[in-house]
Structure 1
Amino acid sequence: MPQADPVIIGAPKVLKPGEQVFLNCTSDFSLPPSEINWYIDEELQKPEMWQKTEVTGNQPGGLRRSWRVLRVRVPPTASGAMRVRCESILQVDPPVVRDANTIITIHSRTQLSKYVSNSGTKVVNTVVLIATILLLTYNEISRFTSL
């Protein structure tokens, strides 16, 4: 029987839409070795062909540790948070299930159009800024030369 919950490795606290990350879930030693399932927001993730549960070689007493990788791709329109859960199942009667959870915050991309004015206003703002700098510089120079 596993003595501890599985461990999730590689989970960042924050991801951006469009990013991807690889997570690893490792179970504790057991006999037989555990099967591992991944869930995102309580939805079972179907493994890709190369994402199967792997096991270590036999340890003293025949104990083996299991692990499985999950590729998480954040959809381009995602925002909020993503709850990722790793479940370790020991196939005995009755089955023994242990799990680990992590929350990944998804920062949505800022819509620049909300903060950037159109190009015509941008040119006017630049001219006003340059004129203000020149006026302040002229005033400072005049102040020192009149002393």
Structure 2
Amino acid sequence: MTVLLVFGLFIVIVTAHNITYLEVPQYGDPRRDAALVCHYVSERGDPPLHSVKWYRDNNEIFRFTPGQQPPTRAFNSSAGGVSSGVCNEHSCAVSVALPRKFNTRISFTCEVSTEGPRFAVVNQTKYLTVAVTLKEDPVITGASGTVQVGEDVLLNCSTKAAMPPANIVWYVDGKPERSDPWMSDNTEVSPADEHGLRSSWRALRVRVGAGRALLEVRCEATQPSKPPYTRSTSTGLMVARSPHLSMYTASGSSSTEAAVVLAGSITVHMFFTYSALSKL
């Protein structure tokens, strides 16, 4: 990378390494260290690498200086520092302890500089949110048996423990559905477990209307993190139809034959599930 420095009427051209990719996870579990990696390359004519520095927000937490002994140095931080670091002329990887405060958003910056006399500097920044995200899609239960027109179907959607706990929204045929008055209008949340994580659930009662062959229901669980994290599960229920006997007797069939045809024509209830992962 070429950098122009202006001193009075003089323009000095200096070159710096390029940061090709900065690896910072979007979400970090506070129960384990976060792995960060900074990748950089030099172009022909660039001065040698002087140092690579890592910053948490505005505080330096780690430094790699290949011309010094020892070449690496970690700096303590009140919210957690670097537990280990492995760096070379092309990359610098560190493991960082995260604070126990959920939904905290942290910026991590990699700064690469070349040798003097100009010490050209480049940097990149990415953000990490402290959260235990849902590792599985929510689960829909209660959708068993034959679904008939006019029937009330009671469903429940639940998630595994996470933090922050997920808010659940039901969708029926693609439209958000409110719970009945006798149900809680909000997502229910469990007490915290030994790690401070909470599971969520929400019930839904939906009446099967006439003139339809399929009832599509989706449960969407969203953690109110920054940015939000969403997983969802959908269920499709085939609505059973019972043909009238007159449909066959009117065509000239005997009552016995009509009854046999009628029994064989009853639609068997079908249930299928599919899962979808979306990031808002």
Q: Which residue of 2 aligns with 1:27?
A: 159
CA displacement at 1:14 relative to structure 2: 4.0
Is 1:5 paired with 2:137? Answer: yes
Q: Which protein is richer in strand relative to its size? A: 2
Deviation beyond 4 Å, 4+ runs, structure 1: none
Task: Say whether residues 1:60 and 2:194 are aligned partners.
Answer: yes
Alignment partner, residue 72 of structure 1 = 206
1:43 aligns to 2:175 (yes or no): yes
Match of 2:124 in 1: none
CA contact (8 A) 2:208 2:215 kept: no
CA distance in structure 2 between the aligned counterparts of 1:27 and 1:13, rounded to whole angstroms: 23
Q: Which has the larger radius of gyration?
A: 2
Q: For 1:116-135, what aligned pairs fall within 5 Å after superposition?
A: 116-117=249-250
Cα separation, 1, equivalents of 2:150 and 2:238: 13
User: Cα deviations across residues 56-106 of structure 1 (Å, max 9, x unaligned)?
Assistant: 11101210000000002101x233111111000100111001001111000
Aligned partner of 2:150 among 5, 15, 18: 18
**Which residue matches 1:133?**
none
TM-score scaled by structure 1? 0.73
Deviations 1:24-55 (A, max 9, x none): 10012111211000111111102223233111
Please state which structure has a larger fraction of its residues in helix: 1
- Structure 1 unaligned residues grouped into runs of 5+: 127-147
Distance 1:36 1:11 in 2: 18
Residues 1:92 and 2:225 aligned together: yes
Q: Identify the structure with bigger relative contact order (alpha carbons < 8 Å, sequence gap 6+).
A: 1
Q: TM-score of the superposition, structure 2-length normalised?
A: 0.40
Asked whether the 8 Å contact 2:179–2:205 carries over to 1, the reply is: no
Structure 1 vs Structure 2 CA RMSD: 2.3
Which residue number in structure 2 is paired with residue 142 of structure 1? none
Which shifted more, 89-98 or 13-22?
13-22
Return the match for 1:82 from 215, 230, 237. Answer: 215
Structure 2 residues without counterparts, runs of 5 or longer: 1-132, 256-280
